[in-house]
């Protein structure tokens, strides 16, 4: 609608994406489609934790909203992310200064993130080699050391999160293992934003 906030804003698109994920899960559930287990990627892991029964809808929505607002305040405009069609080992070997592996999504699908100058160097180098690279349309560097600058803020914002035991098995892409549920406190959701997403492994 006229005057609506842009979906390009992290503090708008992440809550919208969360609402779509949770809404779809509710629709599927109403039709009898209930998962045997759940897994989620980065922000999607918050939705997965809610579907698993670990997070109440209120806690899950608060994590998404408050965390994306903290990203907008503290990280936006300082970094970027790039998708690279290579195995993680080949990408990690020789990364430019200020660039880190942010997510390992598949056998030949990796996202790197970090400082804009380093990402420009990486993109130019891989394009010269004929490697497919694609810039992710964001201006921050999730899953890198950039996130450490908002750690204290997130600790305060997410201190009230009260996770519960999982009703549906939950596989963590942060820890790379099944979790019971109570481990997914505010500190977990900081690590979910800070650490490499181990999606391919999961």
Same domain, 184 and 150: yes
Residue 154 pLDDT level (bands cut at 50, 70, 90): very high
Q: Answer yes or no: is 177 within a domain.
A: yes
Identify the pLDDT of residue 94: 82
What are the φ/ψ torsions at residue 109 (nearest 5 degrees)?
A: -145, 105
Identify the pLDDT of residue 8: 81
Residue 38 pLDDT level (bands cut at 50, 70, 90): very high
At 89-146, the pLDDT tens digits run 999 988 999 999 999 999 999 999 999 999 999 999 999 999 999 999 999 999 999 9
Identify the pLDDT of residue 107: 96
Q: Taking a C-beta distance cutoff of 8 angstroms, is the pair 40, 166 a contact? A: no
Segments forming the whole domain that contains residue 127: 80-138
Q: Averaged over 47-57, what is the pLDDT?
A: 98
Identify the pLDDT of residue 78: 93
Beta strands in the chain (DSSP E): 80-84, 99-106, 109-114, 133-136, 170-171, 178-179
Q: Taking a C-beta distance cutoff of 8 angstroms, is the pair 38, 171 a contact? A: yes
Identify the pLDDT of residue 3: 87
Same domain, 70 and 112: no
Assigned token pair, 139: 């201006």
At 161-174, the pLDDT tens digits run 999 999 999 999 99
Could you tell me the CATH number of the domain that includes residue 62? 3.40.366.10
């Amino acid at each position: 609608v006229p005057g609506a906030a842009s979906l390009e804003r992290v503090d708008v698109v992440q809550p919208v994406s969360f609402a779509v994920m949770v809404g779809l899960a509710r629709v599927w559930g109403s039709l009898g489609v209930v998962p045997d287990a759940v897994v989620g990627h980065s922000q999607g892991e918050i939705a997965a934790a809610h579907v698993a029964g670990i997070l109440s809808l209120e806690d899950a929505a608060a994590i998404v909203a408050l965390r994306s607002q903290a990203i907008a305040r503290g990280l936006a405009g300082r970094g970027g992310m790039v998708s690279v069609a290579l195995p993680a080992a080949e990408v990690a070997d020789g990364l430019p200064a200020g660039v880190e592996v942010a997510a390992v999504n598949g056998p030949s699908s990796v996202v790197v993130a970090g400082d804009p100058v380093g990402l420009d160097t990486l993109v130019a180098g891989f394009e010269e080699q004929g490697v497919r690279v694609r810039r992710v349309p964001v201006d921050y560097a999730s899953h890198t050391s950039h996130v450490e600058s908002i750690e204290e803020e997130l600790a305060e914002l997410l201190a009230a999160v009260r996770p519960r035991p999982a009703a549906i098995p939950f596989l963590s892409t942060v820890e790379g293992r099944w979790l019971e549920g109570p481990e997914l406190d505010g500190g977990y959701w900081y690590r979910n934003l800070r650490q490499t997403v181990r999606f391919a492994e999961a």
